Structure 1
C-alpha cells in the first residue's frame, strides 16, 4: 500500500494533518495511524534527514534524535547530466537553522551521521552547537566536523556494533556501506582522515565518505532503521525486525538490493522512501523525484506486498 502524507510548510508554525492521497481500492484505509499505535513520530527533512521524536522514560518530556539533517541544501548540480561539481564551496545557512531552533521547531538530543558526504554532514557542526546534541559518527566524520567548528566535547566516535541506552530510547549502530555508482560500482569522494587533522574542508570533495553507518532507533513503542546509502552489510542486519525501514532509492549496482534488504529485516510494516528528492531545491519547494522513487515503490511492492510504502512531503510526518 502506498501512502503519501501531507507537507508541512517550512516556515509554518502549525502542524500539518496527515492526509492519504492514494490508496489501492482493495486495501484498508490508513489515512491516519490509529491512536496509541506508538508514541514515536517521524518527520522528514528532505534527502536522508529524519527527525525521530519519542517520550522520555518517565513520559514527562520529549526526546529527539536527528539523522543526517541538512537544511541548507546549496546547489551542487548533483542531478544534472554533468553531475555535482566537486569544487562547489561548502556553505551553511545559519539564519535558516537559527529560525527553526529559536522557534522551537527543531531540537536534538542526539544527531546520527551515516557518512561524511556534504548532503549528510555539512549542517551538523552548527546544529550540534545550537542544540547541544551529542553526535555519533566515525573517526573521519568527527575529524571533518571538528574542523568545521563542531564542539568537540559533543562528538562521540562509533565504528559499528555499539548499542546504547538513553532516556526513553536506544540507539544501535551498525556497520554499513555507501551506495555504489557507475559501471565500476565506486563510492563518490572516498577516503578517510584521522582525528588529528584540523585543516578546514572548503568544497564538497573535501567531505569524504569516511565509512558508512546505519542506525536502529527504538523508543515510544516502535523501532526505525535508517541507511544513508543504498547498500548495506546483510550480516549486520540478521535478527533485526524494525517497524519502519527508511529505505533509500537506487541500489541498481547491488545484487538483489530491495529483496534481500526487506527479507533480512523481516518485511517491515512500513517502508518509508528516503534520499529520493532533488536536494538542489530548497525545503520550501515540494520534493522533486530525482528519478528513483517509482522503481523503489515497485521493488518494495514485488518483494514485500504486505508493507505500507510511505512517501512524505518535506517536513511531513507520520506515526508508525
Structure 2
C-alpha cells in the first residue's frame, strides 16, 4: 500500500521503521491524493507545499550547540548565530522557498533563522508582537512582518492559514516556561544570546491547501477550546506534555483522531541538520498515540524527509 511517505523520509530500519506507521489503517475508502507535501527540517521546522505555494513553520537550520541535553541544561548565555552559508545553499539549490513563514513562539530554536530567511525569500512572516519585535531587531524587513494574536482566519492564493491561541510546553517540577517574557514592537535592542529570545506568547497554526490540512502546535501544550471542532488531516505533535493533563489522548480526541499524526520537535537539536538523534521522547509519544488513536498513522521522518497526506 502506498503510504505517501518518501523513501528518504523513512527513519531507521527494522523495529524503528515499524514505528513510522502505527495502528490499523482506516477501513473506509482512501481519499483522493492531495497536492500537499510536508517536509521536516528538524526540530519544529516544517515546509508545507500546497501546489505552487510554500509555507514554512519555525524554520531553523543553523542548530548551534547550547547544552540543552546535558544535565546542566542549555546555557542561557550561548551566543546567537545564523549559518547563512547553509541557508543560502538550500535556497540557491531550490530546496527551500517561502511565501509565508509562521512563528509559533520566540525561542531561538524556532525564530533565530527567520529574519534572514525572510530577507532572502520575501516571505510574509506571522507572529505575535514580541516575535515581530525580536525579528525586526534581528534585521527582518519590517514591511514583511504581520502581527497576530490568535483568532485570525486568513485566505491567500491557493492556501489558508488559521491562527490559534496556544500554550508553550510546561517543563520541570514547577511546570514553567523557559525563557519567558514579552517585549513591545517599539523595542529595537538586538538580541545577542539565547535567553534574549523570549517566548513572547505561543501560537498554533492550521494550514489548508492542496486538498489537505495540517495543524502544528509548536509546543507540547494547547488550548483545548481553540482546537474544538477542527479536523486536520495531519497533526504535528511534539513529545512531552508530562505536566499537561491527559496530553495526547485529550488532544487526539478533541481533533477527532486525525488520519496522520507526525512527530515533531523530538530530535536532539544540538546536533547539525542531517544528524538525527532521538532526544528521548519519540517512543513514549508513539506509544501514547497508538493507545489513544489506533486508526491514526504515526509518521516519523528523517531530516529533509517528506510525505504526502
Instruction: Compute the displacement of 1:35 (Å).
Output: 9.9
Instruction: Compute the displacement of 1:284 (Å).
Output: 2.2
The runs of 4+ residues in structure 1 deviating greater than 3 Å are 3-8, 23-29
Task: State the partner residue of 1:13.
Answer: none
Deviations 1:234-253 (A, max 9, x none): 00001100000000010001
Runs of at least 5 residues in structure 2 that lack an aligned partner in the other structure: 10-15
Task: State the partner residue of 1:186.
Answer: 176
Task: State the partner residue of 1:17.
Answer: none
Task: State the partner residue of 1:150.
Answer: 140
Asked if the contact 1:5–1:311 (Cα under 8 Å) also holds between the matched residues in 2, the reply is no
Q: What is the CA–CA distance in structure 2 between the aligned matches of 1:304 and 1:35, rounded to whole Å?
A: 19
Task: State the partner residue of 1:256.
Answer: 246
Alignment of 1:183-222 (within 5 A): 183-222=173-212
2:280 is aligned with 1:312: no
Q: What secondary structure is seen at the aligned counterpart in 1 of 2:18?
A: coil
The normalised TM-score by structure 1 is: 0.89
Q: What secondary structure is seen at the aligned counterpart in 1 of 2:263?
A: strand
Alignment partner of 2:121 out of 112, 131, 139: 131
2:299 is aligned with 1:303: no
Instruction: Compute the displacement of 1:104 (Å).
Output: 1.0
Aligned residues: 297
Task: State the partner residue of 1:169.
Answer: 159
Instruction: Compute the displacement of 1:22 (Å).
Output: 2.3
Alignment partner of 1:22 out of 12, 18, 27: 18
The normalised TM-score by structure 2 is: 0.92
Alignment partner of 2:280 out of 277, 291, 294: 291
Alignment partner of 2:262 out of 264, 267, 272: 272
Asked if the contact 2:207–2:215 (Cα under 8 Å) also holds between the matched residues in 1, the reply is yes
Alignment of 1:19-168 (within 5 A): 21-22=17-18, 36-55=32-51, 62-168=52-158
Task: State the partner residue of 2:13.
Answer: none
Q: What is the CA–CA distance in structure 2 between the aligned matches of 1:265 and 1:82, rounded to whole Å?
A: 37
Q: What is the CA–CA distance in structure 1 between the aligned matches of 2:44 and 2:217, rounded to whole Å?
A: 8
Q: What is the CA–CA distance in structure 2 between the aligned matches of 1:189 and 1:284, rounded to whole Å?
A: 27
Q: What is the CA–CA distance in structure 2 between the aligned matches of 1:150 and 1:222, rounded to whole Å?
A: 30
Q: What is the CA–CA distance in structure 1 between the aligned matches of 2:211 and 2:100, rounded to whole Å?
A: 19
Q: What secondary structure is seen at the aligned counterpart in 1 of 2:17?
A: coil
Q: What is the CA–CA distance in structure 2 between the aligned matches of 1:210 and 1:74, rounded to whole Å?
A: 22
Q: What secondary structure is seen at the aligned counterpart in 2 of 1:66?
A: strand
Instruction: Compute the displacement of 1:6 (Å).
Output: 3.9
Deviations 1:167-205 (A, max 9, x none): 110000000000000111000000000001000000000
- RMSD, matched Cα: 2.0
Deviations 1:6-41 (A, max 9, x none): 436xxxxxxxxxxx9327899569xxxx89511100
Q: What is the CA–CA distance in structure 2 between the aligned matches of 1:28 and 1:232, rounded to whole Å?
A: 27
